[in-house]
Homo-oligomer: A and B are copies of this chain.
Amino acid sequence: MAEVKRTESFGEHLRGLREYSKLTLKSVSGQIGVDISLLAKIERNERQPSKQVIKEVANFFQVNEKDLLDKFLSDQIAHKILNENGDLGILKVAEEKIIYLKTVNNGK
């Protein structure tokens, strides 16, 4: 199996899965029903995958869908902070807010 790199982007990961399987974009795009050009752009992080695409890709490559979604989410967060020039400390604050909101909205 391809090695797991934590800093790898969603697109890189997806491309890795496909190349490891020795499949072409055409083949994968055909089987999961996603436009070939769109899929190529997702692999290059030029377009975002929809939830539907993430699900189909996970099924197709037999990987955990939640893990894939989380990988995509961490990409989005990293890029948001990078292009807003946000401080790294934001992440700790965000974590506290999440924990706080989870307990406050407990039940709801």
| Chain B residue with the shortest CB-CB distance to A9 | B97
Q: Is the CB of A77 within 8 A of B78?
A: no
Copies of this protein in the complex: 2
Q: Interface size (A, Cβ < 8 Å)?
A: 33
Alpha-carbon separation in the docked complex, A91 to B88 (Å)? 10
Known contacts A91-B94, A91-B95, A69 near B86 by CB under 8 Å: yes
| Chain A residues touching B, majority SS | helix
Minimum C-beta distance from A94 to chain B (A): 4
Q: A69-B84, A74-B91 are in contact. List 19 more A-B contacts (CB 8 A).
A: A6-B97, A7-B96, A7-B97, A9-B97, A66-B87, A69-B86, A70-B90, A73-B80, A73-B84, A74-B93, A74-B97, A75-B94, A77-B77, A77-B80, A77-B90, A77-B94, A81-B94, A82-B101, A91-B94
